[in-house]
Structure 1
Amino acid sequence: MDRYDGFREFVRARQQSLIRTAYLLTGDAHLAEDVLQSVLIKVAGQWPKLLHDGNPEAYTRKALINQHISWRRRVRKELPSADPPEYGHSHDDSTVDRIVLRQALARLIPRQRAVIVLRFYEDLPNARPPSC
């Protein structure tokens, strides 16, 4: 029996959802991939224990949030400007809404952003599940 039995299947099944969460937390596709990759390395190390007593998806999402917060503290990058970007052409309402939403998320502190992402994008309940 391989120590990672089920891990590869878990990653294949949940990868798109996890990368979407990472992107919504970071606001940057490349950083989202880096954060998710470092979290999956940690999850792989804990995989036998997670299979036995834990909820692998809840653990992975919590680790993703913690990793993002940790990276933000270390890097301390400036947040993007609150002013909408200047474009030479007009956008439809949905594009403007996405830009405004992205800027609003960027102004939140990492923990607030994590709550918004989990609650509204991942459609998780308001109450914290006991496994987190």
Structure 2
Amino acid sequence: MKRTPSSGTSAQPLDFRDFAAARGCHLVRTAFLLTGGDAHLAEDLAQETLARLFARWRKISRLDNPTAYAQTVLVNTFLTHRRRRSSGEHVTSTFSEQPVHDTEPELRLALLKALGELPVQDRTVLVLRYWEDRSVEETAAMMRLSASGVRSRAARALVKLRTALGEELEQFAEL
């Protein structure tokens, strides 16, 4: 049952709850890819993103596309985390405890490993452009780069990804 403003509480938190329930899993999945497979950090980043959105929800909820704004906040939160990280944490080959029902789990693991080995900016460009299916302009705005910077970084990142996959890429191409 939704509360109405006449019942003494604002409907604003319920609208945010609906948004968080609808977009929360997507934010975690995107953060998982951005972090190179660190499920716990991905959950932390998604939670921090939702907290930042909640603090300004009245204004954000009136935007034309609050979902795109949430993705931008997630990317900025991730990039800020990477800049501020002072510990010597490294991405490991440990993945989420959730079972994966892929028809080709070896391909998924190889891709996640190769993606995790890319530099942060390269990984971010690939996730936004090819996982999130963002345009060059959207990616550029989210990462505060020029459109040509996004295109060149994406091209170099794809070369690095193909090199990292090496023979595995050829094996999976034959499947």
TM-score normalised by the shorter chain: which range applies?
0.7 to 0.9
Corresponding position of 1:33: 43
- Alignment RMSD (CA, Å): 2.8
| CA shift in 2, pair 1:40/1:101, >3 Å | same
2:52 aligns to what? 42
Which of the pair has the greater relative contact order for Cα pairs under 8 Å at 6+ separation?
A: 1
1:63 to 56, 73, 78: 73
Q: Does 1:14 align with 2:29?
A: no
CA contact (8 A) 1:4 1:48 kept: no
Q: Which amino acid aligns with 1:15?
A: G
Q: Distance in 1 between matches of 2:128 and 2:28?
A: 13
Identity of aligned residues (%): 38
The one-letter code sitting in structure 1 at the alignment partner of 2:129 is R
- Determine the C-alpha separation between the residues in 1 that align with 2:62 and 2:106: 46
Letter in 1 for 2:124: A
Select 2:106's aligned residue among 89, 96, 103.
96
Give ranges in structure 2 of 5+ residues lacking alignment. 94-102, 143-175
Q: CA deviation at 1:126?
A: 3.4
For 2:20, the aligned partner's letter is V
Which residue of structure 1 lines up, in the alignment, with residue 138 of structure 2? 128
Give the aligned length: 123
Partners of 2:56 and 2:91 in 1: CA distance: 36
Distance 1:32 1:80 in 2: 12
Larger Rg belongs to: 2
- Conserved? CA contact 2:16–2:54, under 8 Å: yes
- CA 1:9/1:80 → structure 2, altered by over 3 Å: closer, same or farther? closer
- SS state at 1:6 partner: helix
TM-score, normalized by length of structure 2? 0.59
Moved more, 93-102 or 49-58: 93-102
